[in-house]
Amino acid sequence: MIRHVLRQFAVQTLYQMEVGKMTKEEAIENVELVVEGLKEEALELVAEEVTPHQILEIERQFKLEDFYFELVEGVLAHQQELDELIEANLKGWSFSRLNKVDRAILRLAVYEMKFCQETPHKIIMDEAVELTKEFSDTGDGKARSFNNKVLDQISKHLA
C-alpha cells in the first residue's frame, strides 16, 4: 500500500480512538475491516480477468504495512509530547479548540517530523495538507492554510 493511504488509515485510527473512545485494538480492527472490504471489491472487479499471480499481488497490496503500525504506535507513545509541541506553536489558538480530525492529522505529521527522520519535513507537510483537504477542509482552504502554518512553525522549531 502506498504511504499516503497508510497515513489516511492512521488518521482514521487515531480519530476513532479519540471520538469513539475505542481502544487501539478496536480502531485497528475497524480499519482492517475496511481494508478487507476494499480488497474484496477489487477482487470482484477483476475476478474473471486475473491470474493467480495477480490475485496474490492484489492481496499483498491490500494489507496494512509496518509503516501504518509505526505511525499509530508512535503517535500514541508520544501523544503528550506531540500535543505540547503543537500547542506551543499555535498562534492565537488553543489546542482544545482544534477539531479532532485536525488533531489527528497534526499529531501524525509532528510525530513523523520529530521521529521519522528519513522523510523530509516538506513531504510530511504536503501529506498533512492533503489529508486536511481530504478529511477536514470545508472548501474554503482555511483548515489547510491553518495546518500548514502550524506545521511550518513546528518544522522550523525542530530544525
Res. 45 pLDDT band, cuts 50 70 90: confident
- Which CATH number belongs to the domain containing residue 20 in this structure? 1.10.940.10
Counted domains in the chain: 1
Q: What is the pLDDT of residue 100?
A: 95
Cβ(109)–Cβ(89) under 8 Å?
no
Q: Tens digits of per-residue pLDDT, 48-90? A: 677 777 777 777 777 788 999 999 999 999 999 999 999 999 9
Q: Tens digits of per-residue pLDDT, 92-114? A: 888 999 999 999 999 999 999 99
Q: What is the pLDDT of residue 117?
A: 85
Say whether pLDDT at 159 is over 80: yes
Q: pTM of the entire structure?
A: 0.88
Q: What is the pLDDT of residue 1?
A: 63
Measured CA to CA, the distance from residue 15 to residue 9 in angstroms comes to 10
The residue to which cell 500535543 is assigned = 83
The residue to which cell 506553536 is assigned = 89
Q: What is the pLDDT of residue 89?
A: 93
Residue range(s) defining the domain that contains residue 101? 3-158
